[in-house]
Structure 1
Amino acid sequence: MVKGSTRRRPSKLDPFKPYLQQRWTETEGRVAILELHREISARGFRGGYTIVFDWISRTLPNKVTGWLIRHPATLTEEAKLHRKGVLDRCPELATAAEQTSSFAEMLTTLSGTRLPEWISEAVEAGLPGISSFATGLSSDIAAVTAGLTTDWNSGPVEGAVNRIKMLKRQMFGRAGFGLLRKRVLLAR
């Protein structure tokens, strides 16, 4: 394969992926991967268990993550049902999804005045990642609240800084400020 190419080599598992996806969906993830390996082996798959395990553990959790991080209104009806099924089976994940959605709503509606309330709810939830994130926000609550309530955005400045850093990295530290200045001015 050519370096940088996005094409991937075909896998022994490719013809069986639709079947695995269907079985995973119809059992709502309650089927053992070893059982799935046995089923596709009976259908002609000649690969090992680890190929099936790696594909399922890499591909299917990404679908669940997508169901959780996207706004529920943007999901298809089928995805909404799958999301509900996953959240019903795992109360901690349901709490995490609720906290994440609540924070995302604060971001998109610029309602940072609700931040102290969200922080206390997140800490009380006791979920390690979310609780530590909330605790970190409370260390500089004034700045975070301002960021969540004002229309000001540092995106253009960050973009310019990243562009300058990229140009500097391309020079591998071999040139001085004069050449960097010329490259920045010419790269516009």
Structure 2
Amino acid sequence: MAIAPLRRGLPLNQPRERPPSPREPARWIASHPDIRGLHVTHRLHRLLEPCPELKHAHDLVRRFAAMLANRDAAPLLSWLDELSRSGLPPLAGIAGGRREDQHAVAQGIITTYNSGVNEGRLPDVELQKRRMAGRAGVPLLRHRVVLIAHLRRRYADRPTTAPR
């Protein structure tokens, strides 16, 4: 293993970074530029330079994030059109699905309300249903879900302490 880089003609005195996993660039693209560190921002720009498709996808994601941050749904139709014309099949598929529900998407962008609390409870219900495996009825399931919600609320209100 120590001789293999020499055989390939690679210099040994230059440190080499490992290539990012596919999830890392996706997380970098989706995260806000102010939150990313300088090292991550530099790696992302080096990754976007040779790939115009990835750069275009990055620009589209940032434009949608700007719509969410500004709560402005006016550019949604032009954004969906550009998403369809991007030439990238996964993005065109997303555009088709969002175009069918464009009124709901626009409402989700401009409204301050969300169903995040309900979405957080659904996995609790599903987990309890799996644990009980059909052995109990609705009253026991309701009781256990209410207890879990109470515990979450109780521990969410706790002050956090610094790690030791």
Cα distance in 1 between the residues matched to 2:60 and 2:141: 45
Cα distance in 2 between the residues matched to 1:179 and 1:136: 38
2:105 maps to what in 1? 144
Distance 1:166 1:62, change over 3 A: closer
Would you say how many aligned residue pairs link Structure 1 and Structure 2? 140
2:39 maps to what in 1? 78
> Structure 2: 5+ residue runs without aligned partners?
9-17, 151-164
Distance 1:93 1:167, change over 3 A: same
> Structure 1: 5+ residue runs without aligned partners?
1-12, 17-36, 43-55
Q: Is the 8 A contact 1:113 1:149 kept in 2?
A: no
Report whether the alignment pairs 1:133 with 2:99: no
1:106 maps to what in 2? 67
Look up the SS of the partner of 1:125 in the other structure.
coil
Look up the SS of the partner of 2:49 in the other structure.
helix
Q: Which digits, 9 at most, give the CA deviation of each residue in 1:5-44, with x for residues without a partner?
A: xxxxxxxx9xx9xxxxxxxxxxxxxxxxxxxx812899xx
Report whether the alignment pairs 1:117 with 2:78: yes
TM-score normalised by the chain length of structure 1? 0.63
TM-score normalised by the chain length of structure 2? 0.71
Q: Measure how far apart 1:92 and its partner are.
A: 0.7
Q: Measure how far apart 1:128 and its partner are.
A: 1.2
Out of 150, 153, 157, the position equivalent to 2:118 is 157
Look up the SS of the partner of 2:57 in the other structure.
helix
Q: Is the 8 A contact 1:110 1:148 kept in 2?
A: yes
Cα distance in 1 between the residues matched to 2:141 and 2:108: 32
Q: What CA RMSD, in Å, does the superposition of the two structures yield over aligned residues?
A: 2.8
Q: Which digits, 9 at most, give the CA deviation of each residue in 1:142-172, with x for residues without a partner?
A: 1111111101111112223332222222111
2:52 maps to what in 1? 91
